């Protein structure tokens, strides 16, 4: 089944000039890029986007990081897109990252991990609405 999902290239990957490498990996894995957007999170957008994490101890670090620089959003389509992008992205915990994943190659830590990807169809629909407005 063709699915849509959101992928964010985080500020650290932009600062380290890893955008082209990440997009190439995504395309090489058969994803179609249907829309792109360059933007910067502000505290309000961050709280809205990451609402499920707002009460967690790590949230202030996440918000500060996400607001620290530009982010690139990609609207992706592919059969089984959500499962496949999560596999390509890799684990949030550095010690659990498989070699060759985006986070293993372009992440520096837990928060500054290079990317974010929708983890369910419900979250994908919500995230796409927040970032792209549709």
What gap in Å lies between CA 39 and CA 57, rounded to an integer?
26
Task: Give pLDDT, residue 129.
Answer: 98
Taken as a whole, the chain contains a residue count of 134
Q: How confident is the model at residue 1 (pLDDT cuts 50, 70, 90)?
A: confident
What gap in Å lies between CA 30 and CA 45, rounded to an integer?
30
Q: Name the residue range of residue 45's domain.
A: 2-132
Q: Is 29 a catalytic residue?
A: no
Find all residues with CB under 8 Å of 4, minimum gap 6, and list them: 34, 75, 76, 77, 81, 124, 128
Residues 78-127: tens digit of each pLDDT: 999 999 999 999 999 999 999 999 999 999 999 999 999 999 999 999 99
Select which of 29, 53, 83, 116 is catalytic. 116
- Domain with residue 81: its CATH number is 3.30.70.141
The predicted model scores a pTM of 0.96
Domains held by the chain: number: 1
């Amino acid at each position: 089944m063709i699915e849509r999902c959101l992928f964010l290239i985080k500020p650290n990957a932009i600062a380290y000039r890893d955008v082209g490498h990440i997009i190439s990996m995504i395309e090489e894995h058969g994803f179609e890029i249907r829309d792109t957007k360059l933007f910067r999170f502000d505290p309000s957008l961050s709280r809205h986007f990451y609402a499920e994490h707002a009460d967690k101890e790590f949230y202030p670090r996440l918000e500060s990081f996400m607001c620290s620089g530009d982010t690139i959003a990609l609207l992706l389509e592919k059969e089984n897109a959500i499962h496949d992008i999560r596999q390509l992205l890799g684990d949030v915990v550095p010690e659990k990252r498989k070699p060759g994943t985006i986070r293993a190659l372009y992440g520096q830590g837990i928060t500054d991990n290079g990317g974010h990807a929708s983890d369910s169809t419900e979250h994908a629909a919500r995230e796409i609405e927040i970032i792209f407005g549709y």
